[in-house]
Structure 1
Amino acid sequence: MVTLRDVAAEAGVSVATASVVLRGEPGFRSSTRERILDTARRMHYTANMPARFLKQGASGVIAFVVPDLANPYFSDLAWAVSRSAARHGYQTIVQPTNASLATERDFLKKVNSPMCDGLILSLHNVPEDELRSLIGDHPAVLFEDYSEQPLYDNVALPLEAAFRTAFSYLRERGYRHAAVVGGRRFADGEVSARGRNVGSRLAVKAMVESGMGTQSDVIACDWTVSGGAHVAVTAIHDDLEHDALFCMNDLIAFGVVQGLRNMGIRIPKDKAVCGFDGVSPASYASPQLSTIAVDFDGMAESAVAMLVERIRNRSEDAPKRVDSGFCLIRGETA
């Protein structure tokens, strides 16, 4: 079996240098890094994780659990987490669960071992009190946990401020009657029910406070591109008199834009469309989507930094909540 020492000798560097580069840590010239990585690939080197754990008492690996990598929100976030983890000297395992409660439970049982130093979780089904029984005191950080008394460190979206910014912008642009697309009451057992209910409630609240709509100005749909396309047809066929459609995520907004344009509706002259998330496809969609863009890099760095602190110091301080940043992308649809 090829060892780290073999790779170092073949690449003409020290074992320590090869170890740092192969762990993904920053430093060294790009030419040195490429030579070591190329040598490792050519020699089919793989790290001996059990040996690393026995020697160091840590694996240098964290796991990021997400519901669906096909959704660009989670793939963008996974990419940001992996980059941030590398800067802190950790490698990342990304595990999609297909938004399945059974898969979430099964993976958490398996991954909760000394071979994984810590967990970053974007769970959409397992409740936080059950999570404690599954992972115990294993270091963990959650995304978008809106519990009043969280059990774990978590990174939250500043929803109220972000929604207020969106509706303030729509008013400034001259729109007067809005609807929240995708805003509805999700039943217990539906995917992401708790988080989506919080978001829907706060979006409607911001719309009402802006004077752009009432509690009834809500259009229910799936949080997908096809769900948004269906809303576009409904809005025109039922002659809904909204001049601005605020969508609960960018996928819905993509579908709304596509559906309205297919029916000859001029965007943003006839109707404005605004999304939420700022996923990477929004930057090159045509027309460019107007949206509230969350700070993926900031979210990832906050989560990884808190997790590393828990891993290295085994801190028993009370759980912390950090709000991520956001910005308004004016785009071309509103």
Structure 2
Amino acid sequence: MGNCFGSRKSGRVEIAPADMLKKHPSVKLYGHPNSIPTYYIRCALLYKPVTVNFTPSIIHQSPLLQYKSDTVTGSVNDVLRYLDVKFPDPKVLTGGCYDETTPFIVWLVILQHRSMTWHLERMGRWAEDLAARGGKARGDPAMGTPRMEVRKFARGYSQLFELMLEHAQMEERVVFQILEKADRGLSKAANEEHARDLPMMNGIKEDIKSIGVLDSGHPAYQESLCNLSTRLKTLKEHSKKHFEEEEKNLLPLMEATELSKAQQDKVLDQCLDVMQGTHSHLFRFFMEGLLPQDAMHYLDMLSRCSDQNRVTSMLRLIVDKVV
């Protein structure tokens, strides 16, 4: 299950906002506004240091990209290959980066682990910063007053909380049920492992609520911030250990089940049914936790979904948020 990345970078992998790209080269893209290939290329372009001028066009059977005197059309891979040559950092084409013999449902789980780990680390750093400042304003106008920053922190944790719950439910209802055939009793043990950290996750949510109603000058405010930072650090450590154990001990069993491609496609649909929130209103949040090639590989897998309208909606959530 090897891939191109030796270790997860600690810095944020961010889809650049349009106002940051004004000084970058401009590319033109023509394509059907509602086609999956067009949306897919538009998603890939968000990771490139370019300004994109997209022109909806129903006359183009395949997306067409123009950069200076170059014109590129054909398959999605043809366009991405060109982009990786012209704008190599970061690369988005996933070919050769992922072991194709590994069931893609395994990659689905692994990439979700990576996104959750990144968000746990981000929330942990943020909590440490809050505690170090003692509730004082950061000096970043975007964060506003301390109370406003705590509200933003609460919203970020609520999104992560929902993502983690849905991921656990997906494993329990779909993935572990398949693995049970390879190792009877596995589901019970895995479900108990999931339940272990739920009280802590709920406790952190209540801690944040309590901090939100305290005055920043209250003696308990600083203590509450320190406790929050400590509990988030513990949750991060527990979660990372849990993910590592799953990837080492459980997911390899999926290969022993010898699911056909058709069966894997069915499992994918079942996973998406369980994780409706993550793949609708939380999809951009989830994708922000992935490196560019990981993100594009995740989209590769989602493109196998039997409901192509669902795929289009997910891709639209990423692209239209920026435009």
TM over 0.5: no
Greater helix percent: which structure? Answer: 2
TM bucket (normalised to shorter chain) is under 0.3
Larger Rg: 1
Greater strand percent: which structure? Answer: 1
Task: Pick 1 or 2: higher relative contact order, CA cutoff 8 A, min separation 6.
Answer: 2
Q: TM-score, normalised by structure 1?
A: 0.26
